[in-house]
Structure 1
Amino acid sequence: MPRVGGAAGWCVFSVLPPPHSVQEGEDEWGRAMGSEPASGVGTRRRRERSPEEGLPAVHSRQWAMARRALMTVLLFSLILGGSLLLWGYVFKGCGPAHCEMPVCRDLLSLYLASGNTSVAPCTDFFSFACGNTNRTTSSFQALAKENKRRLQRILEAPGSWRLDSGEEKAFQFYSSCMDTGAIEGAGAGPLRQVIEELGGWPVSGDWTPLDFNRTLSLLMSQYGHFPFFRAYLRPLPTPPYTPVIQIDQPEFDVPLKQKQEMNYAQILREYLTYLNRLGTLLGGDPNKVGEHASFSISINSQLYQFLRPPEQQAQGKLFQMVTIDQLQEMAPAIDWLSCLQATFAPMSLSPSHPVAVHDLEYLKNMSQLVEKQLSKHRDFLQSHMILGLVGTLSPALDSKFQEARRLLSQKLGELTGRPPTVLHEELISDIPRVLSAAPWASWCRSQHIRGGSCTKRALLTKPAHPRWMTCVEKTAAFFKPTLAALFVREAFGPSTRSAAMELFTAIKDALIARFQMLPWMDEETRAKVQDKVTQLQVKMGAPEWALKPDPARQEYNDIQLGPSFLQSFLSCVRSRRARVIRSFLQPFPNHRWQVLPWGVNAYYSIPDHVVVFPAGLLQPPFFHPGYPRAVNFGAAGSVMAHELLHIFYQLLFPGGCPACDTHALQGALVCLERHYAAFPLPNGTFFNGSRTFLEDAADTGGLAIALQAYSKRLLWYRGETTLPSLNLSPWQLFFRSYAQVMCRDPSTQDPQDTHSPPTLRIHGPLSNSPAFARHFHCPHGTLMNPSSRCQLW
């Protein structure tokens, strides 16, 4: 009996005619084929003589033939009628069931809130899906915030977990961070204690000068502050990617190069105001504070002048390998061995130990400046280091220091036209500390990280945080193993991971199948592409250390909490640095994750041939095992396909596929460029097709591959569901879910973003899909049903 998906998974019914008619039809069919019923009712009924039984034989034969013909017509009519009833019952009666799970109701609320159904989907699908909400953040940013909310709920409910001693410290740290009353009550006292340990501050009049290099060593190793240069341990961005100490320029609070800023004088005034505020908060005499603050600005300005211009950074070497002994000769003001040994203990360093230097000329000039100031203004140099330390520690201080920092950031944003930034953001610890354009861009290219802009500015640009989010981020930075394990346990259990892997497998299979249909790809390239997909590693959800946490790694025996939050903060800074160093001293894994488990950025790493989808990305509203398949394939599935296509981006470059049909490939490339260029853009929206082309190709191909995978899934599995009250078929829901991922206010587009504006990320791929126009019944020639389409992927 035919079956279709229904509310309970299956609808079972019968369209057979009544038993009497069936048996008569079977008897007549049997006699026509020269056979007789074996026994039973049919045999007995044939022996009962009818009124027509006494007619001549010829009439009996004629009657039998007429009867057979009549029965054939009746049977055909019954089958046709039953088929019509079947069609109506399946597609009108059963149809897709409504998903009534709480996660589906939440998703429905999101779709109803963000969409604008008064707009015709065939003329403006972006407004149809995203036009009812002022989206100052993207869907990815909204998901990232929700993941932090989940971490907040975990940290604020310690009674819901069985905690060991290490996990308990994480909860205690978060609680102390949220205890703003205690932090405000302590005021600047804990910070003054730190300054005394460094020899005091000349402005306060209580100063016991320490050896300059001893002070510098303490600042670097105990407080994470690098006033003249930055040193960090990271893998080299080129093969063999071995960990090495890298030395680079310091982070500057403000740009202090006059030629680059129109409001240079005003920037200096705002920075001077900020430094004066810090000095007075520490109890310094205003006149003395102003003098020392001006000197600090002068030092920073001179250091800034030593930096290579960006164009020279791009043309120069990524780094230069030298030994510590050689570096000591070229920049003698710094006791390099002593400072680096203290910072990177328990590493064992010697004068012959190699280090990677990103700007040797800067270090030479910096050394000369330090030697000059040590001979003339040693007290001012101490003040410069102390003022910088206060800025570094401001996230752990009371609200007066944090407010001073926030005001500076706001003023600089207004004067430079850039968004406010978190200055000296010490909590971003799992990314390379490479500030110059060339090294940072090269590292991004080497890792080929996708799913977000791989730029220093993007990582440090943040709006003002509520207190809970600040404390979640600090706790996550210091107790990453603990929070990773708790987040995975809460948000990415075995069933969710299994469903995500099943989705990825369907997407990967569809990718391979789609490559078989590309008209521009030759058979040899197809075979190579298939081999590359087969050899690809996928990391889903979280690293192994989060999926199977080792309790020994979460003891945090070196962390001492209290008596003040600042002291707890500093203890955590030192503990984290030691853990990072120890991890680099261990055998280097095949792939070191570049995102946290609660992160939302998927990426593909070229060196490791690994694609990574963190657990934070595979969450509502992008993915849930209880969602309709249309949602999972349209949202998370299209993201997966997008990332997989980046593996083959080189095929699209000139000469990248020498055996392919270059004429057909070039035609497809030009077609896609023209397709995107034809769309109107909202006012204030930037679009540069040459810069966004790779992402545009991945968006368009990703949608097509996800759609192909979803179509195959519907053939093999029944029981599809949809969202109630949305009036969308499963196919329409697939496209709606794809668009939801791209929802964002177009006016927030960064001109340097490698992705197209959100309107194009929706209209470009969807209008290139004939299935979209068919399922939304778009008239030919409308925006979403153009006269021609492109097939690149």
Structure 2
Amino acid sequence: MGTLWSQERPPEEGQPTEHSRWWARARRLIMAVLLLGLLLGSSVLLFYIFRSCGPPLSLSPTGSCEMPMCLHLLDHYLASGNTRAAPCTDFFSFACGKEKGTSNSFQSLAEENKSRLRRILEAPGSWHLGSGEEKAFQFYNSCMDTSAIETAGAGPLRQVIEELGGWPISGNWTSLDFNRTLRLLMSQYGHFPFFRAYLGPHPTPPHTPVIQIDQPEFDIPLKQEQEQKIYAQIVREYLTYLNQLGTLLGGDPGKVQEHASLSISITSQLFQFLRPLGQQQAQGKLFQIVTIDKLQEMAPAIDWLSCLQATFTPMSLSPSQTVIVHDLDYLKNMSQLMEKQLLSHRDFLQSHMIFGLVGTLSPALDSKFQEAHTILNSKMGSFYKAGLIPAHPRWMKCVEDTGDFFEPTLAALFVHEAFSPSTQSAAMDLFTAIKDALITRLRRIPWMDEETRKKAQDRVTQLQVKMGGPEWAMDPALARQEYSDVHLGPSFLQSFLSGIRSRQARIIQSSLRPFPHQSDSSGPWGVNAYYSITDHMVVFPAGLLQPPFFHPAYPRAVNFGAAGSIMARELLHIFDQLLLPGGCPACDTHALKEALLCLEHHYAAFPLYSVTSFNSSLTVLENAADLGGLAIALQAYNKMLLWHRGETTLPKLGLTPQQLFFRSYAQVMCRNLSTQDSQDTHSPPTLRVNGPLSNIPAFARHFYCPRGALLNPSKRCQLW
């Protein structure tokens, strides 16, 4: 082979052989294939480069969420907003200003949760026989059995009054000891006619539960500053109502009128003793810690030890036991009034307590009592622009009472129904993103010193979170506990009173545990998130993490803008103390004061529209939380966009994902302007929308707001 190869001669130049021509064609083909592959590879690379630099894919029609829950959310947004409003001037009207008035997003969600509870309670044969479930379902059914309640009439209530010693207006009255009657009302009927007593966290660490004595809640809606004409109208309507109650219980009309008038006089005098919350704050007297024997000395008309011991059994109380008093001056004046009434009008004092009890129990009575209370609410609402909450249908009240008295059972059933493990996982992922964004943001807050910054980050890291419902609510066995202390019948009123006593006992037993937990005020179906100082825990109930605020299938812009901003706002309440005067001595107090002053001026630049009772001095902390909550949620959302491509939006709404984020934030705040209360610690809803949005440069950029527009001011505040 070597000889043969050595003997072969090279071809002459310009005279290619057949073999060389074949190799030339092959080389050209290979080069063409390589060139085509290079061009295709470059095109793919350029596509990904330009996709990263250009607008997100979600802006194309294929990026729309077409799932049923998204379409339902779209309908909700279209129904609540007013696209004719200019977003750069008044985003609240743009998001919430539908023509027929603004609905309350939280109230609507709360009602939807109650409808879900109703479906659970009315599902046929869905409980376990002999269990707590069965007792809860039976209570609900007896509450809905209005024919049986009508048949019983006022008889069950008369029996209760007899147990209290009777009623002077009916003629059958045993002049019992005043404190004995008060003790029975507090411990057996959950009625507090002259003050409120309840268990709440101690204001100082470790925040263990302690008895709190607070101002009473009046059935008559008097206000601190009220026109004389309106006051006279309110008194007249309330007198009519009390006369109806007395007549329904067989009282002589003349005697009823006299006792009703004296009852209103007592209420009016007690009301004059109250001090507004703002005044208590200014005087630094939000609470005082006193012993029971000291309280007895200062307000001697009440047998404090006896009344509190009966109410909070099985707690063991002594004269040296400390309690928290929220308005000691009120209690002193109340005691003096009681002593005066006991000397001259003991029977009128008994009537006053009975009138109040009948009003409290009216939901458990027949339709005549309920109608009288409904008419009173309607009349009282007409005196104020804000009005009162309209009367609820019977089923809603029955759901509320069943939830109050059988919370463990309904908590388990509701969480199982409304908060699946996948929903909980998605909600926890959202919370983690919000918490991480806050920790990052704490690094660059200008008024914090380094030590405070480190402590603040540690506080966030150590925070506990309760998402959806208590852990025990996930245990089906607890849904079937026995409730041996709840006795149903023979009348619905007796079942109702048994539920009151069982609930009170459950609260006290919980506080006596080695590690007491703060019970949710409305169960997992509630819609209020909160930060618990006692447990250093944020709570986000399952009832809140529902459409239209949250759903795993929603565009992320919706979840971050709505639920995410709520989460961030509650996290910021951890640092409320730092914002109060003297709350952070090591911080740059000058910079902090400047930031808070900027915030005050920032909010003052917006019109209040129809809101007249706004008290800006009470809203500083909530304004700060609103402002920071939006900024932190946006920061978390932007970080998410860097890691997760392919964001979606809602069809037919005409909003980019970033615009949808701000729209979803505003949707949370939708509420009727006329419902603002003068003692509300939140700003009016228009300010809660327009104030924070105008402080975010990204909002003006994404909605193309011209410089100097109301929501694109030249100066913004740097608090968080």
Question: TM-score normalized by structure 2?
Answer: 0.83
Cα shift readout 1:135-160 (whole Å, capped 9, x = no counterpart): 44322222222222222222222434
Does 2:478 correspond to 1:551?
yes
Q: 1:363 and 1:675 mapped to 2: Cα distance? A: 40
Name which of structure 1's ranges 370-379 and 582-591 shifts more when overlaid on structure 2.
370-379
> Deviation of residue 255 (structure 1)?
7.3
- Residue 500 of structure 1: SS of its match in structure 2? helix
> Deviation of residue 292 (structure 1)?
2.8
> Which residue in the other structure is 2:146 paired with?
180
Cα distance change, pair 272–485 in 1 and its aligned pair in 2 (3 A): same
Counting only pairs closer than 5 Å after superposition, residues 245-324 of structure 1 correspond to structure 2 as: 245-248=211-214, 250-254=216-220, 262-263=228-229, 264-301=231-268, 303-304=270-271, 315=283, 316=285, 318-324=287-293
Name which of structure 1's ranges 550-559 and 526-535 shifts more when overlaid on structure 2.
550-559
Structure 2 residue corresponding to 1:406, chosen from 361, 369, 374: 374
Task: Note if contact 1:174-1:475 (Cα within 8 Å) is conserved in structure 2.
Answer: yes
Q: 2:544 and 2:289 mapped to 1: Cα distance? A: 38
> Which residue in the other structure is 1:726 paired with?
653
> Deviation of residue 320 (structure 1)?
4.7
> Deviation of residue 709 (structure 1)?
1.7
Cα shift readout 1:489-523 (whole Å, capped 9, x = no counterpart): 11122211111111111111122223334556555
Q: How many residues align?
A: 695
Counting only pairs closer than 5 Å after superposition, residues 466-477 of structure 1 correspond to structure 2 as: 466-477=393-404
- Residue 228 of structure 2: SS of its match in structure 1? coil
Task: Note if contact 2:101-2:672 (Cα within 8 Å) is conserved in structure 1.
Answer: yes
Counting only pairs closer than 5 Å after superposition, residues 120-519 of structure 1 correspond to structure 2 as: 121-122=87-88, 124-160=90-126, 162=128, 165-248=131-214, 250-254=216-220, 262-263=228-229, 264-301=231-268, 303-304=270-271, 315=283, 316=285, 318-324=287-293, 334-350=302-318, 353=321, 355-356=323-324, 377-415=345-383, 417=384, 419=386, 462-518=389-445
The letter of the residue matching 1:568 is S
Q: 2:717 and 2:326 mapped to 1: Cα distance? A: 44
- Residue 538 of structure 1: SS of its match in structure 2? strand
> Deviation of residue 170 (structure 1)?
1.1
Cα shift readout 1:308-333 (whole Å, capped 9, x = no counterpart): 78788553572352345x66666665
Is there any run of 5+ residues in structure 1 with no aligned partner, and where? 1-45, 55-62, 422-461
Cα distance change, pair 376–585 in 1 and its aligned pair in 2 (3 A): same
> Deviation of residue 242 (structure 1)?
3.8
Task: Note if contact 1:685-1:746 (Cα within 8 Å) is conserved in structure 2.
Answer: no
> Which residue in the other structure is 2:684 paired with?
757
Q: 2:703 and 2:19 mapped to 1: Cα distance? A: 61
- Residue 598 of structure 1: SS of its match in structure 2? coil
Name which of structure 1's ranges 617-626 and 158-167 shifts more when overlaid on structure 2.
158-167
Question: TM-score normalized by structure 1?
Answer: 0.76
Name which of structure 1's ranges 668-677 and 763-772 shifts more when overlaid on structure 2.
668-677
Structure 2 residue corresponding to 1:562, chosen from 489, 506, 511: 489
Cα distance change, pair 47–665 in 1 and its aligned pair in 2 (3 A): farther
Is there any run of 5+ residues in structure 2 with no aligned partner, and where? 1-16
> Which residue in the other structure is 2:20 paired with?
49
**Percent sequence identity over matched residues?**
72
The letter of the residue matching 1:648 is F
Task: Note if contact 1:599-1:617 (Cα within 8 Å) is conserved in structure 2.
Answer: yes
Q: 1:116 and 1:255 mapped to 2: Cα distance? A: 34
> Which residue in the other structure is 2:79 paired with?
113
Task: Note if contact 2:671-2:685 (Cα within 8 Å) is conserved in structure 1.
Answer: yes
The letter of the residue matching 1:321 is V
> Deviation of residue 166 (structure 1)?
0.8
Q: 1:104 and 1:787 mapped to 2: Cα distance? A: 37
CA RMSD of aligned residues (A): 4.1
> Deviation of residue 752 (structure 1)?
4.3
Task: Note if contact 1:333-1:367 (Cα within 8 Å) is conserved in structure 2.
Answer: yes
Task: Note if contact 2:263-2:352 (Cα within 8 Å) is conserved in structure 1.
Answer: yes
Name which of structure 1's ranges 696-705 and 489-498 shifts more when overlaid on structure 2.
696-705
- Residue 579 of structure 1: SS of its match in structure 2? helix
> Which residue in the other structure is 1:717 paired with?
644
Q: 2:99 and 2:92 mapped to 1: Cα distance? A: 12
> Deviation of residue 609 (structure 1)?
2.8
> Which residue in the other structure is 1:585 paired with?
512
> Deviation of residue 484 (structure 1)?
1.4
Task: Note if contact 1:539-1:610 (Cα within 8 Å) is conserved in structure 2.
Answer: yes
Q: 1:350 and 1:525 mapped to 2: Cα distance? A: 41
> Which residue in the other structure is 1:599 paired with?
526
Task: Note if contact 1:484-1:598 (Cα within 8 Å) is conserved in structure 2.
Answer: yes
> Deviation of residue 562 (structure 1)?
1.8
Cα distance change, pair 332–786 in 1 and its aligned pair in 2 (3 A): closer
> Which residue in the other structure is 1:103 paired with?
69
Q: 1:95 and 1:272 mapped to 2: Cα distance? A: 63
- Residue 242 of structure 2: SS of its match in structure 1? helix
Cα shift readout 1:283-304 (whole Å, capped 9, x = no counterpart): 1221222233234334445555
Cα shift readout 1:677-734 (whole Å, capped 9, x = no counterpart): 4445545577776654443443333223222222222332344333233333333322
Cα distance change, pair 189–792 in 1 and its aligned pair in 2 (3 A): same
Q: 1:653 and 1:377 mapped to 2: Cα distance? A: 47
Structure 1 residue corresponding to 2:667, chosen from 714, 717, 740: 740
Task: Note if contact 1:136-1:748 (Cα within 8 Å) is conserved in structure 2.
Answer: no
- Residue 100 of structure 1: SS of its match in structure 2? coil
Q: 1:570 and 1:289 mapped to 2: Cα distance? A: 26
Task: Note if contact 1:540-1:614 (Cα within 8 Å) is conserved in structure 2.
Answer: yes
> Deviation of residue 744 (structure 1)?
2.8
Task: Note if contact 2:292-2:304 (Cα within 8 Å) is conserved in structure 1.
Answer: no
Cα distance change, pair 673–177 in 1 and its aligned pair in 2 (3 A): same
Cα shift readout 1:588-647 (whole Å, capped 9, x = no counterpart): 426554553222222223454322222221111111111121211111112212222333
Task: Note if contact 1:481-1:549 (Cα within 8 Å) is conserved in structure 2.
Answer: no
Q: 2:353 and 2:196 mapped to 1: Cα distance? A: 14
Cα distance change, pair 191–662 in 1 and its aligned pair in 2 (3 A): closer
Cα distance change, pair 498–688 in 1 and its aligned pair in 2 (3 A): same
The letter of the residue matching 2:20 is R
Cα shift readout 1:766-792 (whole Å, capped 9, x = no counterpart): 344343344445555555555555544
The letter of the residue matching 1:205 is G
